[in-house]
């Protein structure tokens, strides 16, 4: 028997047959669902190749230090070690990469800028050997003072994180330690403030949340005979990775062939590169396949986090509850490298006013370069931080005016036709008041829901759970509301497109649609939706989804709530092209047999060509014969423009999505422990392409927002070192922390979007956090201006 020479446990085609019917609007099973539930699904960490080596990364123990020397000799002497690489071994002129600004060294050169920055690489025949060898690399560091907040970043003698910047934001930022700054000015705040009967101000803080995806960074690089490399990788955007990897390897893009391997969650954390370049470098150096798998500890250093933020807000309103103006300043900590910081700044500023009509605004958002961990994309992307602050402000204003907080919001809620602070008119449904009405009208959970029939306490339903801290003592209920606004798709003039290739062919006497895109399925259910679209558009049952790779054009990123809109849109568009070809061929073959071929509107349904009146003209099998029909094309959403650098004006976003939450919490006011009892959500999704998946997205996003409210935070010490890089101390909600989440889905079509759909993934993450916090404030009477809230914040004055 020949021994296998290729890699194993790499992605395979996913077929769905007659047992998984379901077009647009149905909720068919996921083609990858059974595999994932039974543990058979091959994640990127499961891949294997004969003779493969294991790569390991040596990382900086300091947040800011000069690298005085690196001595790799002892590591190289260790048996089983094939290569040890440092900056000096980088093969090309290009030694840095980055999503937007190429500022991140593939390996540190002369200086490390954050705790955990990669300094050297080892390839060995066993992962343990690689780790031991890495520990034998001698790096001499000289510690440097750390930049860790706005004051230290902008101080007169502040060390510059990136001296000599030449990126496109460098000319307009007020200080080189500011990555990007975006003001938005509209109306006349000063005179509006004079009309205000009440003015409230607030200072808020958001901690550093982690995406905490469960599948750690991992991949397999296989050197190829042509001098190139095949990279199997878990990522969010293959082509963006490719554009960054190839130059550092000194290879043309066509020699770096990438295939998406099984992705265990992303939430923005896989937008940036992690081990991609490293595995390729080691594979090309050793001539052997190299696998790298981070463990959980390393994963906390292997990807960017959500920007921690400080936010200052001022709002004014008239006595009758109309907003007069708002001012805010949002300072995001971008950490050592730019990552997605510029786009996060654009999002934070353009969503800073929330889903409200406010004619007079002065907004400023900026991201700093510091020695803290690099921060970038995470679900909600700048809009999360703003929503926490403006929703707290809404409650403060309502309290000041003696108004119901929901009614106050409804009075100021935007609707279709409202104008954003950027001057952009919202030209699709914006049912903000209606979403609030819906969550408010849901029945409230029973009082003392934790009491058993016999009057005894069920601790599982109380704050503290099985930790048995209360049997009802000190427990106070609170209810809170919040609503948010989030853009969908890439913004600010970005040429955002997706590519699809669809083939319709006869296999085993049945028509089969084969869909090929480079879309990263990261768990969101995109491939399920693609199958549904193909069924609806082409009238087939059987759909085969090919593995995503770079043999087809870019699909863009699985982020910004955009993939169903964009790659779903591309699949729909290309299916239409395929349908046209099929009908053309049908007319050629059978047109003479029935006049309807020439006169009627023709559809593909149930494997047949039918008229809009339902008359069958031919079967797809007969039309196709032995010759498949195939089409490929790029598809774009409507264009946007960049925000003006001084006024922030511009048609910057493609689409907006809205969600509202009502949180019901019970707080142990003596211990500061919180149990969220219920977190009801109403969201407009335009069109529920897959209603079950939509509810899943909303419940997942809601839970992630709850995590930010009450537990999730990466802590750094005064020297900018990460204190809790593990799931022991970086806590994410368990099922006992996850409340009942009733979901009310609205479907108000957006005429600009395919099927009228509205990206659904992020909006629920926004309003969940402030709703929980409003409920905790209602229960405790405390101001609680910071998330995540900790027990000591609740019990201490």
Partner 1 sequence: MEFLRPATWEEALAAKAEHPSAVPIAGGTDVMVEINFDHRRPTHLMDLNRIRDLHEWEVGDETVRLGASVPYSKIIDQLATELPGLALASHTVGSPQIRNRGSVGGNLGAASPAGDSHPALLAAGAEVEAESVRGTRFIPVEEFYTGVKRNALAEDELIKRVHIKKADGPQQFSKVGTRNAMVIAVCAFGIALHPETRTVRAGIGSAAPTPLRATAAEEFLNAALEEGGYWDSGKVIAPSVARQFAELCSGACNPIDDVRGSAAYRRRAVGVMARRTLGWTWESYRASGMGRTTEGGAQCA
Summarize as ranges the residues that interact with partner 1 (CB under 8 A).
131, 295, 297, 463-471, 473-474, 670-673, 675, 710-711, 715, 723-724, 726, 728-729, 731, 733-737, 790-792, 795-796
Least Cβ distance, residue 759 to partner 1 (angstroms): 30
Least Cβ distance, residue 724 to partner 1 (angstroms): 5
Least Cβ distance, residue 297 to partner 1 (angstroms): 6
* Structure tokens given for 328: 């805010």
Pick from 486, 523, 499: nearest CA to 693: 523
d(CA 514, CA 546): 7
Least Cβ distance, residue 125 to partner 1 (angstroms): 18
* Structure tokens given for 723: 């204190």
The smaller minimum CB distance to partner 1, of residues 78 and 318, is found at 78
The smaller minimum CB distance to partner 1, of residues 94 and 461, is found at 461
In DSSP terms, which residues pair with 514 in a beta bridge? 503, 544
The smaller minimum CB distance to partner 1, of residues 21 and 74, is found at 74
Least Cβ distance, residue 670 to partner 1 (angstroms): 5
Q: Phi then psi for 729, rounded to 5 degrees?
A: -120, -10
Least Cβ distance, residue 675 to partner 1 (angstroms): 6
The smaller minimum CB distance to partner 1, of residues 294 and 656, is found at 294
Helix intervals (H) in 196-265: 238-249
**CA dist 29 → 564, 692, 698 (Å):** 17, 10, 18
Least Cβ distance, residue 490 to partner 1 (angstroms): 35
Least Cβ distance, residue 729 to partner 1 (angstroms): 5
Q: What is the DSSP letter of 170?
A: G
**CA dist 619 → 369, 461, 533, 586 (Å):** 62, 58, 20, 9
Q: Token match 């049945």: residue?
A: 510
Torsion of CA 294, 297, 298, 302, to 10 degrees: 100
* Structure tokens given for 427: 């030209």
Least Cβ distance, residue 470 to partner 1 (angstroms): 7
d(CA 67, CA 88): 13
The sign of the CA dihedral 780, 783, 787, 791 is negative
d(CA 680, CA 699): 9
C-alpha 120: how far from its chain's center?
29
The smaller minimum CB distance to partner 1, of residues 118 and 346, is found at 118
d(CA 230, CA 689): 34
The smaller minimum CB distance to partner 1, of residues 494 and 727, is found at 727
d(CA 117, CA 107): 8
The smaller minimum CB distance to partner 1, of residues 444 and 732, is found at 732
Least Cβ distance, residue 728 to partner 1 (angstroms): 6
Least Cβ distance, residue 736 to partner 1 (angstroms): 4
d(CA 68, CA 730): 33
The smaller minimum CB distance to partner 1, of residues 128 and 140, is found at 128
d(CA 102, CA 162): 11
The smaller minimum CB distance to partner 1, of residues 312 and 727, is found at 727
* Structure tokens given for 230: 């095949």
Q: Please tell me whether the peptide bond between 284 and the residue prior to it is cis, using omega within 30 degrees of 0.
A: no
The smaller minimum CB distance to partner 1, of residues 3 and 734, is found at 734
The smaller minimum CB distance to partner 1, of residues 751 and 792, is found at 792
d(CA 10, CA 515): 18
């Amino acid at each position: 028997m020949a021994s296998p020479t290729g890699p194993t446990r790499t992605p395979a085609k996913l077929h769905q047959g007659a047992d998984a019917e379901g077009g647009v609007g149905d909720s068919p099973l996921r083609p990858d669902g059974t595999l994932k539930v039974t543990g058979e699904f091959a994640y990127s960490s499961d891949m294997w190749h004969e003779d493969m080596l294991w790569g390991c990364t040596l990382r900086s123990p300091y947040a800011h230090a000069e690298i005085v020397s690196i001595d790799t000799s002892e590591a190289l002497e260790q048996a089983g070690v094939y290569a040890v690489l440092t900056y000096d071994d980088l093969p090309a002129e290009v030694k840095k990469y980055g999503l937007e600004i190429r500022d991140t060294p593939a390996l540190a050169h002369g200086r490390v800028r954050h705790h955990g920055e990669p300094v050297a690489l080892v390839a060995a025949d066993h992962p343990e050997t690689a780790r031991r060898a890495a520990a034998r690399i001698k790096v001499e560091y000289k510690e440097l003072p750390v930049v860790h907040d706005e004051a230290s970043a902008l101080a007169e003698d502040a060390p510059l994180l990136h001296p000599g910047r030449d990126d496109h934001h460098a000319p307009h930022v007020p200080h080189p330690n500011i990555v990007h700054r975006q003001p938005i000015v509209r109306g006349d705040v000063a005179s509006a403030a004079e009309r205000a009967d009440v003015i409230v101000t607030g200072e808020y803080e958001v901690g550093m949340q982690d995406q905490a995806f469960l599948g750690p960074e991992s991949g397999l690089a296989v050197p190829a005979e042509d001098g190139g490399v095949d990279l199997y990788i878990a990522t969010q955007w293959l082509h963006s990775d490719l554009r960054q990897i190839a130059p550092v390897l000194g290879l043309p893009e066509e020699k770096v062939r990438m295939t998406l391997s099984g992705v265990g969650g992303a939430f923005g954390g896989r937008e940036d590169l992690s081990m991609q370049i490293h595995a390729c470098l080691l594979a090309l150096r050793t001539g052997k396949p190299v696998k790298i798998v981070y463990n959980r500890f390393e994963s906390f250093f292997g990807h960017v986090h959500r920007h921690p933020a400080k936010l200052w807000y001022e709002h004014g309103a008239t006595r009758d509850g109309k907003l007069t103006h708002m001012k805010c300043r949002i300072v995001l900590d971008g950490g050592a490298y730019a990552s997605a910081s510029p786009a996060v700044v654009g999002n934070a500023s353009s969503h800073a006013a929330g889903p409200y009509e406010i004619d007079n605004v002065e907004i400023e958002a900026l991201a700093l370069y510091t020695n803290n961990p690099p921060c970038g994309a995470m679900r909600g992307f700048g809009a999360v931080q703003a929503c926490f602050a403006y929703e707290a402000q809404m409650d403060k204003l309502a309290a000041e005016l003696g108004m119901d907080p929901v009614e106050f919001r409804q009075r100021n809620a935007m609707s279709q036709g409202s104008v954003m602070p950027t001057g952009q008119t919202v030209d699709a449904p914006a049912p903000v008041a209606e979403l609030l009405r819906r969550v408010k009208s849901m029945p409230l959970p029973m009082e003392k829901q934790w009491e058993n029939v016999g009057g005894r306490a069920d601790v599982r339903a109380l704050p503290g759970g099985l930790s048995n801290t209360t049997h009802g003592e000190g427990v106070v209920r609170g209810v809170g509301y919040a609503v948010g606004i989030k853009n969908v798709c890439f913004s600010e003039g970005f040429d955002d497109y997706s590519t699809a290739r669809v083939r319709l062919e006869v296999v085993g006497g049945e028509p089969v649609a084969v869909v090929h895109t480079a879309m990263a399925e990261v768990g969101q259910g995109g491939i399920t939706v693609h199958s549904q679209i193909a069924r609806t558009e082409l009238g087939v049952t059987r759909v085969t989804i090919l593995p995503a790779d770079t043999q087809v054009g870019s699909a863009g990123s699985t982020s910004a709530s955009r993939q169903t809109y964009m790659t779903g849109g591309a699949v729909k568009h290309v299916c239409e092209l395929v349908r046209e070809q099929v009908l053309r061929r049908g007319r050629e073959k059978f047109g003479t047999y029935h006049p309807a071929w020439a006169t009627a509107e023709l559809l593909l349904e149930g494997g047949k060509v039918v008229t809009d009146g339902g008359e069958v003209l031919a079967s797809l099998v007969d039309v196709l014969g032995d010759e498949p029909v195939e089409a490929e094309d790029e598809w774009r959403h409507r264009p946007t423009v960049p925000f003006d650098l001084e006024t922030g004006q511009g048609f910057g976003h493609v689409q907006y999505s809205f969600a509202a939450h009502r949180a019901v919490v019970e707080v142990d006011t003596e211990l500061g422990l919180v149990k969220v009892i219920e977190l009801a959500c109403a969201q407009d999704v335009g069109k529920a392409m897959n209603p079950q998946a939509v509810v899943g997205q909303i419940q997942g996003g809601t839970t992630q927002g709850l995590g930010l409210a009450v537990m999730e935070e990466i802590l750094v010490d005064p020297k900018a070192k990460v204190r809790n890089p593990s799931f022991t101390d970086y806590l994410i909600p368990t099922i006992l922390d996850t409340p009942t989440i009733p979901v009310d889905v609205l479907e108000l079509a957006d005429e600009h979007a395919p099927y009228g759909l509205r990206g659904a993934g992020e909006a629920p993450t926004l309003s969940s956090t402030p709703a929980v916090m409003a409920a905790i404030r209602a229960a405790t009477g405390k101001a609680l201006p910071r998330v995540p809230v900790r027990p000591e914040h609740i019990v201490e004055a």
